[in-house]
Amino acid sequence: MNDRLALVDCNNFYCSCERVFNPSLIGKPIVVLSNNDGCIISRSDEAKALGIPMGAPLHEQQETIRKHGVQVFSSNYTLYGDMSSRVMSILADEVPAIEIYSIDEAFLQLPKNFSVEMGKALRAKVLKHTGIPVCMGIGMTKLLAKLSNRYAKKNKMLTGGVFDIGEHWDPDGIMHETQCEDLWGVGKNLARRLRKIDVSTVLEFKNADPVAVRMSLGVIGERLQREMNGIRCLELEEVPADKKSVMASRSFGSPVEKLEELEVALSNHVSRASEKIRSGGLLASSMVVMLRTNRFKPEEPQYCPSIRFTFGTPTASTSQLMKAARRLLHRIYRLGYRYKKAGIMLDGLVGSVSYQPSLFDAPVTPKIDVDRIVDDINRRMGRVITHGSMGVKGTGDAWRMKSGRKSPSYTTSWGELPEARL
């Protein structure tokens, strides 16, 4: 018999991170915004109670925000990523295996003697050591663990934030109350197909004719139905598969027309993307550079070029990638356009260890790997070392994202450490 699985999910994660270092926010409505402060991507329970919808444009919610004193923050992904690492490391220490599913979710393989009370103790430990509240759902399969987690979050007072659907006296009742579109992996599109075969609730999905489900949803639907019946089809992925590509692309805070500013923006994207592939032990075989004007302003001239370059030898060198990106940018740049977005994609990624060079290939890395030394320093000290082509903050910053409400990077920057006042 397979060990049970658990899904641990951080509650309103971005908002919870903001509260850790600013306790005065506890009990107050909070929202966190997307890139360029455009849309609401995280809401505290208090903000949800005010009827603020997920994904709503900020300008449409100004009246509610003003009337109820909602605290608004720009996204601070550096802080959120570091807090996520702290949560995941605590979880990993307590279980045999873990699959980090997203920045705020992880599947756990549980020991055979794991109980709901042990789950509550782990939940309390995460809260004590990080300040982040989590909920846990337990089940024989990933899908049942997800469903359990959903019930735990919606019924915190009853469950204490931890719920095992296998121990509930009426699991079918919970499934009957849950619509298929709320089930992980189904969503609105697949739920629409299920309604055509008279399946609306999770319980109906569980008991539906497998042949009809397969015909309607294909192999994916068949696996989900088996998972719903306690037959594990989705195993824990302890080691994430190597990425096939990495993209770094952001919309500008203001339109950019000058080539020099585009070069600075692109250099910053290359720096971030190259650091990502090095952290995964990967090399890029090719690069794509792209520019975009604002398609939401049809009255302006539109131009959306992209260009690809294939390296003779795969590389993860920031300087090599920056040189290539700059050459490609010069080839596609045109005067007279107001650019809204620029980005690069590194693809054809191969493992730096498994890559087999030919006899005539240049060395993949120099004897002294400066990039990895810089990565290590920046990881420990904050981003203190940058390439000159990435520009000086405060000069020609039209391309940088709008983030006027961003909180300090409390845990990753020496200059932004929280202050204790007496």
Least confident interval from 229-243, 258-272, 304-318: 229-243
The mean pLDDT of 246-258, rounded to a whole number, is 89
CATH superfamily, domain 80-113+137-228, is 5' to 3' exonuclease, C-terminal subdomain (1.10.150.20)
Answer whether residue 1 shows pLDDT above 50.
no
Answer whether residue 368 shows pLDDT above 60.
no
Q: Do residues 21 and 407 lie in contact, with contact meaning Cβ atoms separated by under 8 Å?
A: yes
Per-residue pLDDT band at 364 (split at 50, 70, 90): low
The mean pLDDT of 356-369, rounded to a whole number, is 61
Q: How far apart are CA 381 and CA 1, in angstroms?
A: 47
Q: Where are the domains of the chain?
A: 80-113+137-228, 245-390
Kindly state the DSSP code that residue 95 receives in the 8-state scheme.
S
Q: What is the per-residue pLDDT for 238? A: 67
From start to end of 220-276, where are the E strands? 245-256
Give 218-227 pLDDT, tens digit per residue: 999 999 999 9
Q: What is the per-residue pLDDT for 146? A: 96
Answer whether residue 422 shows pLDDT above 80.
no
Helices (H) and strands (E) in the chain, counts: 14, 13
Answer whether residue 132 shows pLDDT above 90.
yes
- Which CATH code fits 245-390? 3.30.1490.100
Answer whether residue 358 shows pLDDT above 70.
no
Report percent pLDDT > 70 for the chain: 93
Q: What is the per-residue pLDDT for 366? A: 54
Answer whether residue 360 shows pLDDT above 70.
no
The mean pLDDT of 248-274, rounded to a whole number, is 91
Q: What is the per-residue pLDDT for 237? A: 81
Q: What is the per-residue pLDDT for 250? A: 84
3-state secondary structure of 130: helix
Q: Do residues 343 and 247 lie in contact, with contact meaning Cβ atoms separated by under 8 Å?
A: yes
From start to end of 202-328, where are the E strands? 245-256, 282-293, 306-315
Give 165-219 pLDDT, tens digit per residue: 999 889 999 999 999 999 998 988 899 999 999 999 999 999 999 999 999 999 9
Q: What is the per-residue pLDDT for 359? A: 63
Helix axes 370-381, 259-279, angle to 10 degrees: 90
Give the rounded distance of the alpha carbon of 296 from its chain centre. Answer: 26
Per-residue pLDDT band at 2 (split at 50, 70, 90): low
* Ramachandran angles phi, psi of 283, nearest 5°: -130, 145
Q: What is the per-residue pLDDT for 390? A: 80
Q: What is the per-residue pLDDT for 394? A: 56
Residue with tokens 């608004």: 72
3-state secondary structure of 368: coil
Q: What is the per-residue pLDDT for 292? A: 94
Kindly state the DSSP code that residue 39 receives in the 8-state scheme.
B
Q: What is the per-residue pLDDT for 144? A: 96
Residue with tokens 């370059």: 309
Length of the chain: 422
Q: Do residues 347 and 321 lie in contact, with contact meaning Cβ atoms separated by under 8 Å?
A: no
Answer whether residue 154 shows pLDDT above 90.
yes
Nearest to 312 by CA among 280, 267, 357, 246: 357
Mean pLDDT, the chain, rounded, equals 90
Q: Quick one: tokens of 163?
A: 């719920």
From start to end of 50-93, where are the E strands? 71-73
Per-residue pLDDT band at 266 (split at 50, 70, 90): very high
Give 38-71 pLDDT, tens digit per residue: 899 999 999 999 999 999 999 999 999 999 999 9
Nearest to 287 by CA among 277, 297, 279: 277
Q: How far apart are CA 88 and CA 159, in angstroms?
A: 22
CA distances from 100 to 4, 19, 245 (A): 17, 23, 19
What is the DSSP track for 369-414?
Answer: -HHHHHHHHHHHH-S----GGG--TTSS-TTSPP-TTBPP-TTT-G
The mean pLDDT of 331-335, rounded to a whole number, is 95
What is the residue type of 245?
S
Answer whether residue 233 shows pLDDT above 80.
yes
What is the residue type of 15?
C
Report percent pLDDT > 90 for the chain: 70
Q: How far apart are CA 91 and CA 391, in angstroms?
A: 39
Q: How far apart are CA 44 and CA 17, in angstroms?
A: 11
The mean pLDDT of 135-156, rounded to a whole number, is 96
